[in-house]
Each structure stands twice: as C-alpha cells, then as structure tokens.
Amino acid sequence: LQKILILLQVTVSVVVGKTLMILFPEAMKRYILKMGEKSRMNQNPKFSYENWGPTFFSLKYLLFVLKVKWKRLEDEAFEGHPAPNTPVVTLGGEERHLLDFMADNRPLILNFGSCT
C-alpha cells in the first residue's frame, strides 16, 4: 500500500512538473536553479543548468525517485518490530543483506567506524 501511495505521489509530481516545464519553461528554470542553490548543486563549475535541468521530471527521474523512496521504506526500523534487512556490501565487494550474517541464536553486532 505504501509503495502504491508513493507511486501516485511521485507520478503526479512528475506529470505536474513536466507540464509546468512545457507551459512555463523560464519560470521552471528559475525554480530548478533555486533548488540547485539549496542543494549546492550549482556550486560545481562542471555542471550547468543545460546539463541537468532538462532531466527533471523525465522518465529516468521518475524511476530514480521511485527507487530511492521504495528503498527507504525497507530501511525503517521500529521498536518491537523485526530489524530491516538492509542491503550491505562486503569487504570483497559482494552485495548481501544484513540479516544474511545472522547465525543461530547469536546476536548480530554492528560496528561502525571510519578511517581518515
């Protein structure tokens, strides 16, 4: 049910956005550039609006946003409920899922760190 609601929300957003880009291209360009300022996307000198602006509200955009939002559904954890089976990458580069590392009745311990 959540995936269907997300599909509807993102689809409507893309259809409205694409329609506005066709009807009001300059206003939408200003809007997208303002969004780029908030995310600091436009601070990269290698990117110009012509490179990434037209990709907004495209089919690729729709599919990417759906993929990200649906993935986030899997990552939600709630107290008293089973842990999410989040995808992880092994040191060997193999993609597995977190719960693949469970063994018998032993607890699974996650250790997060970084090297700089």
Q: How confident is the model at residue 15 (pLDDT cuts 50, 70, 90)?
A: very high
Tell whether 50 is covered by a domain.
Answer: yes
Residue 78 backbone class (left: φ over 0; alpha: ψ -120 to 50; beta: rest):
beta
Q: With contact defined as beta carbons under 8 Å apart, do 98 and 84 qualify?
A: yes
Domain with 27, as residue range(s), is 1-75
Tell whether 89 is covered by a domain.
Answer: no
Tell whether 93 is covered by a domain.
Answer: no
pLDDT at 96 over 70: yes
Domain count, the chain: 1
Closest to 11 measured CA to CA, from 83, 71, 87, 63: 63
> What is the model's pLDDT at position 114?
67
Closest to 6 measured CA to CA, from 72, 89, 76, 103: 72
50 or 116, which is more confident?
Answer: 50
> What is the model's pLDDT at position 18?
92
Tell whether 92 is covered by a domain.
Answer: no
Whole-model pTM: value is 0.56
8 or 101, which is more confident?
Answer: 8
Tell whether 103 is covered by a domain.
Answer: no
